[in-house]
A = this chain, B = another copy of it.
Amino acid sequence: MVKTKVAVIGCGTIANSAHIPAYLANAEAEMKYFCDIRVERAQQAAEKYGCGEAIADYRMALADPEVEAVSICTPNHMHASIAIDAMRAGKHVLCEKPAARTYAEALEMQKVQHETGKVLNIGVVNRFNTAVNVIKNMIDGGELGELYHVYVSFRAHRSIPGLGGDFTTKAVAGGGALIDWGVHFLDIVMYCTGDPQPRTVTGQAYCKLGKELEQYTYMNMWAGPPKLNGTYDVDDFVTGMIRTEGPTITLNGAWAQNIGVEEMYIGFLGDQAGIRLQYGKDFKLYSAKHGALLEATPAFQSTDHFQNEIDSFLKCIKTGEKLPSHIDTVILSSKIIQGIYDSSERGAEIAFDQEEARQ
């Protein structure tokens, strides 16, 4: 068996906690390059995992004809250009979420995917999560009846990541709570409801609690520590409503808000049953049958969704199967997120031309 040789570009948290271990655990893959512009991070990885070559310039990996697949784990602003370069160099690409900073960048990536025919999957890892797939199966199987609305909450009290750094700098990340957390929640909704075309999008995004960097009070910080002389110009609160060909969707999300309650859930409302998924955890199914109201707690075997994602990526390279994480599917949530940001600036709802949407 010839192993698929892989380059991981960007050796930060997501690479080390998810992509690299999953490639190493897959018998058909071989880590060939660890790449990071801060080359010491690449070297640390090579040392730690005892394999591969540390490089600073991803073009070295793209120039190597042995490399078949790349994972892009850089900050968001590099997603589009590296993915495009990689596909044009003949590589298959798994690019972390969000696809890109903007819908325009994502469309460009999609265009090159179509031109080159290489795989371009986005790291919407929840599509490989067991609980999410059980929910999708229930909805597809008609368990919920007509699914008319989904409400989404990704609201934390204090959870701004790396204040002042890449996460909170619009030129790097493209946005804040919506593009970083909302993308996951929205993607679960899209996946479970059959990736419906959006019709209208309205929303408002606020940059409030981190704006005065020194005055931001918190208990702990992921992706920290803070850079108090850095930039904070992204949304820490966002609200929005989306009409689709399927259900309507509303969302309220906060990296930070002055409400000391963490509410991370998705509520799927069907006329026969409903589901409340606690993000990253379990879910409950509510129905009414035979005159009784039922609250059901499902149990199932879980598998590691990152491993599933990588395994599926490696497999689809060989089989040509189009995964649910393909750019053609994920492009829709890029469009919606862009719509919310645009609507927020205009102070008005955006209606998509349905004809164009279906092209």
Which residues on the B side are within 8 Å of A199 (C-beta)?
Answer: 347
Residue of B nearest to A297 (CB): B295
What 0/1 readout, one digit per residue, does chain A (123-151) give for beta carbons within 8 Å of chain B? Answer: 00000001001100110010110101101
* Among B151, B202, B285, contact of A294 (Cβ-Cβ < 8 Å): B285
Which residues on the B side are within 8 Å of A285 (C-beta)?
Answer: 294, 296
Q: Do residues A157 and B293 form an inter-chain contact, with CB atoms below 8 A? A: yes
Residue of B nearest to A294 (CB): B296
Q: In the complex, how many angstroms separate the beta carbon of A177 from the nearest chain B beta carbon?
A: 12
* Among B211, B218, B237, B347, contact of A301 (Cβ-Cβ < 8 Å): B218
Q: Do residues A259 and B271 form an inter-chain contact, with CB atoms below 8 A? A: no
User: What is the bound-complex CA distance between A295 and B269, given in angstroms?
Assistant: 20
Tell me whether A301 and B141 are in contact in the complex, defined as CB-CB below 8 angstroms, given that A202-B349, A241-B239 are known contacts: no
Q: In the complex, how many angstroms separate the beta carbon of A154 from the nearest chain B beta carbon?
A: 13
Which residues on the B side are within 8 Å of A141 (C-beta)?
Answer: 289-290
Asked whether any CB of chain B lies closer than 8 Å to the CB of A158, the reply is yes
Stretch at the interface among A43-51, A160-168, A272-280: A272-280
Asked whether any CB of chain B lies closer than 8 Å to the CB of A229, the reply is no
Asked whether any CB of chain B lies closer than 8 Å to the CB of A204, the reply is yes
Asked whether any CB of chain B lies closer than 8 Å to the CB of A243, the reply is yes
Asked whether any CB of chain B lies closer than 8 Å to the CB of A208, the reply is yes
What 0/1 readout, one digit per residue, does chain A (231-255) give for beta carbons within 8 Å of chain B? Answer: 0000001011101000010101010
Q: In the complex, how many angstroms separate the beta carbon of A118 from the nearest chain B beta carbon?
A: 32
CB within 8 Å of B: which A270-321 residues: 270-274, 276, 284-301
Which residues on the B side are within 8 Å of A218 (C-beta)?
Answer: 293, 301
What 0/1 readout, one digit per residue, does chain A (206-237) give for beta carbons within 8 Å of chain B? Answer: 10110100000111100000000000000001
Which residues on the B side are within 8 Å of A209 (C-beta)?
Answer: 271
* Among B239, B286, B347, contact of A250 (Cβ-Cβ < 8 Å): B239
Tell me whether A200 and B349 are in contact in the complex, defined as CB-CB below 8 angstroms, given that A143-B289, A144-B258, A269-B259 are known contacts: yes
Q: In the complex, how many angstroms separate the beta carbon of A264 from the nearest chain B beta carbon?
A: 14
Most buried by B among A130, A243, A273: A243
Q: Do residues B293 and A269 form an inter-chain contact, with CB atoms below 8 A? A: no
Tell me whether A293 and B260 are in contact in the complex, defined as CB-CB below 8 angstroms, given that A239-B241, A269-B237 are known contacts: yes
Tell me whether A269 and B292 are in contact in the complex, defined as CB-CB below 8 angstroms, given that A202-B200, A301-B220 are known contacts: no
Q: In the complex, how many angstroms separate the beta carbon of A100 from the nearest chain B beta carbon?
A: 26
Q: In the complex, how many angstroms separate the beta carbon of A266 from the nearest chain B beta carbon?
A: 11
Q: In the complex, how many angstroms separate the beta carbon of A202 from the nearest chain B beta carbon?
A: 5
Residue of B nearest to A270 (CB): B258
* Among B144, B243, B289, B296, contact of A204 (Cβ-Cβ < 8 Å): B243
Asked whether any CB of chain B lies closer than 8 Å to the CB of A27, the reply is no
User: Could you give 23 example pairs across A and B, Cβ below 8 Å?
Assistant: A134-B292, A138-B289, A148-B206, A149-B204, A149-B239, A158-B293, A202-B202, A217-B293, A219-B293, A220-B301, A243-B347, A250-B252, A257-B274, A258-B288, A259-B276, A260-B284, A285-B296, A292-B298, A292-B299, A292-B300, A294-B298, A294-B299, A295-B299
